[in-house]
A and B are shown apart, each in its own frame.
Chain A
Amino acid sequence: MAAENLSTKIPSRKRIATGIALLVIGLLMSVFFLPGTETGQTATFGLNLSSSAAILLPDMTLPVQTSLYVLVLIVVFMGAYHMARGIRSPGALFGVVAFCFVAAFLIWATRGRSLSLIGMLTSSLVRATPIALAALCGVISERAAVVNIGIEGIMLIAAEASVVTASLSDSLYIGLMVGILSGALIAALHAWLVIRFKVDQIVSGVAINIFATGTTSFLSSKYLQHQSDLLNNSGTFPIISIPLLSKIPIIGPIFFENNLIVYLMMIIVIVMHIVLYYTPWGLRTRAVGEHPKAADTLGINVYLMRYVNVIVGGMIAGLGGAYFTLGSVGRFDEVMTAGKGFIGLAAMIFGNWNPLGAFTSSLIFGFADSLQVKMQILKVPIPSSILGMAPYIVTMIVLTGLVGQAIPPAADGQPYEK
């Protein structure tokens, strides 16, 4: 009897702490967001990307104060309920509270004005693309137990390689191919070092990053900047609207009006999910990442599996690199990846080493990024340099809050010895 009481008593201390934290968040929301508002003020959110869309949705106009009160109440209620009864899923709790906070912030920032919500969501997906590709590279390598923190460097090199070849050949497709290939090559080098010679995986990854930053910056300042028309001017992939699908309200403009690389990213998410969980290759990959010795005793070639997965990962990162140039601005700038490779690794962890999870968490990072840009446009009274930190701050919060809970593949980062 006493035992059962105890088992419910102990977690409740943690629950009360979490509950109080939620109440504090609710309080902070009202302190931050309510004072600047006036009664009767509204915030307008646009739901159409362009006024030429087939089906026009009416704009969403929200009363500012009422909405804020409702959001604060939801958070406070969640806190109180969690204290009294306990909410089983920490993910749901975190999700709802984060949603309320972001919504309150958006409503506050948009008070008395209007903001294109769809525009912001569309740019979230676009900004999430390189992060998601980096995360997918991480997922497929680490599922086979090879840690690749050189993704940032791979993307940087692929970005430069693809823009130069695309400019020279005047073909975006050739550029894209070269980007993917350069990714494969560097990943193959990483694989060779860590599998064959058992070089520490972190050391090899760091070396790739340093090498990539140095080389690409050097080539850029030495050649690209002087002959930018010839070497650094590729143009970008055009937006392709998928017939019919792009006409669906809200979903259409977000998912079905994008360029080739964004579509490829979404296809890779789905294909990787299917491969990992529904095919022999995926089963073997996961086995090699969890318990390589067991795989070996069943006649699976552990080394081969690792090589192939790391190289495929490199190709995906290469695609991500090409996105920065061919998919976005059409030219190369020094260190233009700006830590997206590392954010991708955070997204991989947040997404629990699975492709759909990695994609979803990339969207969150993309959203943070697009939010800060929009806020600068809306002239929110927060310095732009602080707003610019948003994606990185989100990364840190996510990593500190969730790293302990996410479970990596059991053999992740360990070389396999027969």
Chain B
Amino acid sequence: MPPVLQLKGITKAFPGVLANDHIDLELNEGEIHCLLGENGAGKTTLMNILYGLYKPDAGEIYVRGQKAEIENPNDAIQRGIGMVHQHFMLVPVMTVTENVMLGVEEKRNGVFLDRAKVAARIREISHDYGLEVDPDAYIKDLPVGIQQRVEIIKVLYRQADILILDEPTAVLTPQEVEGLFKILRSLVAKGKSLIFITHKLKEVMALADRITVLRLGRTVGTVTPSEVTPERLASMMVGREVNLTVSKKPPKVGDVALEVKDLYVEDERHQVAVRGLSLDVRAGEVLGIAGVQGNGQTQLVYALTGLAPVLSGEIRILGKPVRKPTPRKILELGVGHVPEDRQRHGLILSFPIHDNMVLCTYYQAPFARGINLQEKVIVANAETLAKQFDVRTPNVFVPASSLSGGNQQKVIVAREFSRPIKLLIASQPTRGLDVGSIEYIHSRIIEKRDEGAAVLVVSSELDEILALSDRIAVMYRGQIVDIVPAAQASKEYLGLLMAGISPADAAKSVAPVAAGEVERVF
């Protein structure tokens, strides 16, 4: 029996980059095939070609042994290919039903939308594959985990049997990832074939039947999980040895750099999201805030960086009380911020890289003299930083939008870390990044700490928190439920706190601290 899908010699060039260079890929029936590769390796490009969004410069696609000309998404859909995109393709102001039927609407009397019929079909699919979702809910009210289900239902509704999932786990909580894996296994059990893209080696090892690794637009090789170790996969991706653990010296703790007392903050919908939170971070230490996303971490960081008003409570940065903080006031105190949403709060995507590198300092010498920007200095600065921080880009004049996710993040890190900062606030610093970039950014964060900066890291990746932190605070429903020293913290205990179990109850079932040092692999 031929493979359900064969890609042969797919090649695609964008101005200045060869995104896909003669890539071959085979997908067998009932298989989960993982596609691994650094940021910018060409995974999304390859899948977009398969789905008809891009036209390849060369190469052939065979579906069930037959040569397929896929000119647009309709051709792909007709051949049973469905795709869950890296960035969700859902219309937030429409209901689940409307999103699912879009493009293949059921009609009543030949004219009118038949929402009821589609909703019934959605319920059937939900039932068959364990994808619980309310067909009448609006997408904007659903958590990302459920939105993901809607994306999968969309694909199943179109009766796809080849499913492409492009980094479906990047924005999910650990529980949601577990749920997704169950769903994916049930899909395969029903004869579907899957291409699964991720950066997380653990997921690959847990899920894949076969793994294909891409690097710089080329296929490095195809292996099975039993043949390899995570370390081996990482070095195949990056092309060098990668250190999957963070090595760090014991902290040299100094004065309190950030002090928060009884803080209350609202979210955009005027719900109180941070309720009476207190913490402090000292110079030379990393305080990690663990917690399932949506427990007020975002609003906490917004308040600390001046992006959201404080309802009540006190914030002191380097001993100075901050009232009515604005982002600039806070930056000028010596605070660096790596924001959660890099495209919204970190970069101006349409600006060239060199301007993005001076977004917080453009008005100061040497970048400005009076009201004149010193273009030459700004460009020279960007070129130095790009080299120093290994930003992969043809030059510093291209817009930030043309960089891959990992390199966009490096631009932000370069900008923030090159200032003399005394307090670093980093939110989800490595979301969506490949192991190489994660290793790099982690080592930079530890470097800052060793230079004596106080660091506050917020992440929904427990492994990341464990790897970086000196102390770990667990946030639940807008409050810090417990703070434990990281070196001995037990993962199970933190997991229970994150799920909302009280410290007292959690301590009854597992020990809060493990015996001895624990090895941290991310």
Binding site for B on A (CB under 8 A): 2-4, 6-7, 10-11, 278-280, 283-284, 286-287, 290-291, 293-300, 410, 418
Contacts and interface: CB of A to CB of B under 8 A. Distances in A.
Contact size range, B: 35 or more
Contacts of B154: 298
Given A279-B111, A418-B53, A298 B92 contact: no
A294 B266 contact: no
B493 interface: no
A1 to B, nearest CB: 10
Contacts of A297: 51, 53, 73, 83, 85, 89
Contact of A295 (B93, B103, B272, B312): B103
B74 A299 contact: yes
Given A298-B102, A298-B154, 14 more contacts: A2-B264, A279-B111, A280-B113, A283-B94, A283-B105, A287-B91, A287-B102, A290-B92, A291-B91, A294-B91, A294-B99, A297-B53, A297-B73, A297-B85
List 6 A-B pairs, minimum CB-CB distance, nearest first: A298-B103, A299-B74, A294-B89, A280-B105, A3-B275, A3-B272
B91 A2 contact: no
Contacts of A287: 91, 94, 102
B90 A284 contact: no
Contacts of B104: 298
Given A280-B105, A299-B72, A6 B312 contact: yes
A158 B469 CA distance: 69
Interface in B71-113: 72-74, 77, 83, 85, 89-94, 98-99, 101-105, 107, 111-113
A306 to B, nearest CB: 16
B376 interface: no
A212 B107 CA distance: 42
26 contacts: A3-B272, A3-B276, A4-B272, A6-B264, A6-B312, A7-B271, A7-B272, A10-B270, A278-B112, A280-B105, A280-B107, A283-B98, A283-B102, A283-B105, A284-B102, A291-B90, A293-B89, A297-B53, A298-B73, A298-B77, A298-B89, A298-B103, A298-B104, A299-B74, A299-B77, A410-B92
B58 interface: no
Interface centre among A6, A291, A418 (most CB of B within 10 A): A291
B102 A300 contact: yes
Nearest to B113: A278
B478 interface: yes
B510 interface: no
A406 B2 CA distance: 55
A144 to B, nearest CB: 13
Interface in B37-93: 51, 53, 72-74, 77, 83, 85, 89-93
Given A2-B276, A7-B270, A290 B91 contact: yes
Contacts of B94: 283, 286-287, 290
Nearest to B477: A3
Interface in B111-167: 111-113, 154
A280 B94 CA distance: 13
B293 to A, nearest CB: 20
Contacts of A300: 102-103
A83 to B, nearest CB: 19
Interface in B278-336: 311-312
A296 B107 CA distance: 21
A117 B77 CA distance: 60
A7 B92 CA distance: 26
Q: Which of A7, A290, A294, A300 is most buried by chain B, counting CB atoms within 10 A of its CB? A: A294
Contacts of A286: 91, 94
Contact of B89 (A283, A291, A418): A291
A114 B18 CA distance: 80
Contacts of B102: 283-284, 287, 294-295, 298, 300
A53 to B, nearest CB: 39
B104 to A, nearest CB: 8
A287 B112 CA distance: 17
Contacts of A284: 102-103
A10 B266 contact: yes
Nearest to B479: A3
Contacts of B312: 6
A284 B103 CA distance: 7
Which of B72, B91, B312 lies at the interface centre, i.e. has the most chain A CB atoms within 10 A of its CB? B91
B406 to A, nearest CB: 22
Given A280-B107, A294-B90, A6 B311 contact: yes
Contacts of B270: 7, 10-11
A290 B95 CA distance: 13
Contacts of B53: 296-297, 418
A3 B478 contact: yes
Contacts of A294: 89-91, 99, 102
A300 B103 CA distance: 6
Contacts of B77: 298-299
A291 B107 CA distance: 23
A287 B73 CA distance: 16
B504 to A, nearest CB: 20
A279 B102 CA distance: 11
Nearest to A299: B74
Nearest to A301: B72
B112 A279 contact: yes
A6 B274 CA distance: 12
Interface in B183-212: none
Contacts of A7: 266, 270-272
Contacts of B93: 290, 410
A290 B271 CA distance: 26
B272 A6 contact: yes
Residue from B53, B89, B99, B103 whose CB has the most chain A CB atoms within 10 Å: B103
A291 B85 CA distance: 14
A182 to B, nearest CB: 30
A296 B275 contact: no
Given A299-B77, A418-B53, A2 B103 contact: no
Among A11, A280, A300, the most chain B Cβ lie within 10 Å of the Cβ of A280
A296 to B, nearest CB: 7
A403 B90 CA distance: 26
Contacts of B266: 7, 10
A283 B73 contact: no
Nearest to B101: A283
A95 B373 CA distance: 51
Given A286-B94, A290-B93, A299 B73 contact: yes
Contacts of B73: 296-299
A2 B92 contact: no
A291 B90 CA distance: 7
Contacts of A410: 92-93
A134 to B, nearest CB: 24
A368 B107 CA distance: 42
Nearest to A289: B91
A224 B99 CA distance: 53
A279 B89 contact: no
B103 to A, nearest CB: 4
A151 to B, nearest CB: 25
Contacts of B105: 280, 283
A281 to B, nearest CB: 9
A11 B270 CA distance: 9
A283 B111 CA distance: 12
Contacts of B83: 297
Contacts of B98: 283
B445 to A, nearest CB: 32
Nearest to A290: B91
A284 to B, nearest CB: 7
A315 to B, nearest CB: 21
Contacts of A296: 53, 73
A287 B101 CA distance: 11
A299 B264 CA distance: 46
Contacts of B276: 2-3
B87 to A, nearest CB: 8
Contacts of B72: 299
